[in-house]
Amino acid sequence: MDTKAFKRSLQQSENYHRRGFGHQAEVSGVLNQEYQSNLIQTIREHNYTLTQGQVTIHLAQAFGFCWGVERAVAMAYETRQHFPKERIWITNEIIHNPSVNQRLKEMEVGFIPVKAGEKDFSVVESQDVVILPAFGASVEEMQLLNSKGCTIVDTTCPWVAKVWNSVEKHKKKDYTSIIHGKYNHEETIATSSFADKYLIVLNLEEAEYVAEYILNRKDKAEFLQRFAKACSPGFDPDLDLERVGIANQTTMLKNETEQIGKLFEHTMLKKYGPTALNEHFMSFNTICDATQERQDAMFELVEKELNLMVVIGGYNSSNTTHLQEIAQARGIPSYHIDSGDRIGPGNRVEHKPLGKDLEIKENWLPAGEITVGITSGASTPDKVVEEVIKKIFNLKS
């Protein structure tokens, strides 16, 4: 399918909007009130540190809402303002944050229902408005909505769109896109829908397995079984790994994406030699600045003497989970929570350890003076971080 031509024609349609509706001034006051925090602003102004009683808080120097998320949330609010009477739908959580998504529900922005694991778009009618979230939507979903004649408000982050452009370039030159991401993450699903041939690798270990296959063809059946859910239909590793381009889910660990890119570059160099490298390997820098900054700030934060770390963000938020991985790798007790409601009653916390279900930890705040590191994912409003800090102070007061 010519996805590029489709996107071009969609962008020219009068039903399609990818900029706001001129209500920025009206919604910015509401957004500030609902999501910003004076306490967090004060901590920022005091070198990201605050001591109250027995508790010292160190905030990461970059955390919380990234501009792509801020933009998407503002566009959703503007959409409500611009279409006060129309039914408004969103194809997925606009961002991975429960409080923001709850607020949208209160504004009567409906989520497309999911039946037996499939989204049911039959609810959408031509006079409805449909918002595409910050991490985008698949080409198939866009085509379906376009064919219904409804109004589409596209809040896809420009960084995500940049990755899609890379994938288009791979496709044009008949390269397979190797996507560093999670095969069932909405952003990766959307990105792979722009590719012709693709393979999704979760981490360096999977990438090494693929690189090894490229150099010494291993067991094809085993390969296909391992990537059954993570490759394009009819994928043939013996033919489709001769020319590869690198793409990424924008919220993956930056260092890992870079390592995976280098690994495939070296693999192709080894197999085809330096003069033919460009005919077998293609890579563009599509690592999002915001993800990079938050991860770098976390690496700095874990250098401090901390008793524990609190990582705040939606449980299905990829970039938040990666922040927790960094704390865990340093051996710092780290609690991933999605809101202040997870703390209490008393000195207990309900948190999600990496790769596990929610757990309750009693007496999670040690006695005496403590130093707590705090960060939050790109889809977490400052208000939620404030709530968490206040609860910690109260518990130790």
Strand 348-351 versus strand 16-17 pairing type: unpaired
Closest CA to 257 of 298, 216, 295, 313: 295
Q: Which is nearer to ligand SF4, 56 or 192 (CB)?
A: 192
Q: How far is the CB of 269 from ligand SF4 (least distance, A)?
A: 30
Backbone angles phi and psi of 298, in degrees to 5: -70, -40
**Which one of 66, 90, 167, 349 is in contact with ligand SF4 (CB under 6 A)?**
66
Is 134 near ligand SF4 (CB under 6 A)?
A: yes
DSSP string, 345-370: SSSEEEE--TTS--EEEET-SPSSSE
Q: Which is nearer to ligand SF4, 50 or 253 (CB)?
A: 253
CA 211 to chain centre: 26
Distance separating alpha carbons of residues 191 and 205, to the nearest angstrom: 22
Q: How far is the CB of 268 from ligand SF4 (least distance, A)?
A: 27
Q: Exactly one of 78, 93, 141, 187 is catalytic; name it.
A: 187
Q: For residues 25 and 157, is the Cβ–Cβ distance under 8 A?
A: no
Closest CA to 71 of 159, 138, 186, 139: 159
Residues 154-173 that bind ligand SF4 (CB under 6 A): 157, 159-160
Distance separating alpha carbons of residues 372 and 284, to the nearest angstrom: 38
CA 355 to chain centre: 17
Q: How far is the CB of 71 from ligand SF4 (least distance, A)?
A: 8
SS3 label, residue 156 = coil
* # chain residues binding ligand SF4, by CB under 6 A: 15
Q: How far is the CB of 393 from ligand SF4 (least distance, A)?
A: 29
Q: For residues 304 and 60, is the Cβ–Cβ distance under 8 A?
A: no
Q: Is 187 a catalytic residue?
A: yes
Distance in Å from the first CA to the final CA of the chain: 62
**Which one of 138, 249, 251, 380 is in contact with ligand SF4 (CB under 6 A)?**
251
Residues 355-384 that bind ligand SF4 (CB under 6 A): 378
Is 291 near ligand SF4 (CB under 6 A)?
A: yes
**Which one of 64, 68, 237, 373 is in contact with ligand SF4 (CB under 6 A)?**
68
Is 290 near ligand SF4 (CB under 6 A)?
A: yes
Closest CA to 318 of 336, 342, 302: 336
* Interaction mask 85-114, ligand SF4, x per CB under 6 A: ------------------------------
Q: How far is the CB of 16 from ligand SF4 (least distance, A)?
A: 20
Q: Which is nearer to ligand SF4, 128 or 186 (CB)?
A: 186
Which residue in the shown chain puts its C-beta closest to ligand SF4?
Answer: 68
Distance separating alpha carbons of residues 342 and 395, to the nearest angstrom: 13
Give the binding range for ligand SF4 (CB under 6 A) out of 113-121, 229-237, 287-295, 381-389: 287-295
Known catalytic residues are: 187
> Binding residues for ligand SF4, per CB under 6 A?
66-69, 134, 157, 159-160, 250-251, 288, 290-291, 319, 378
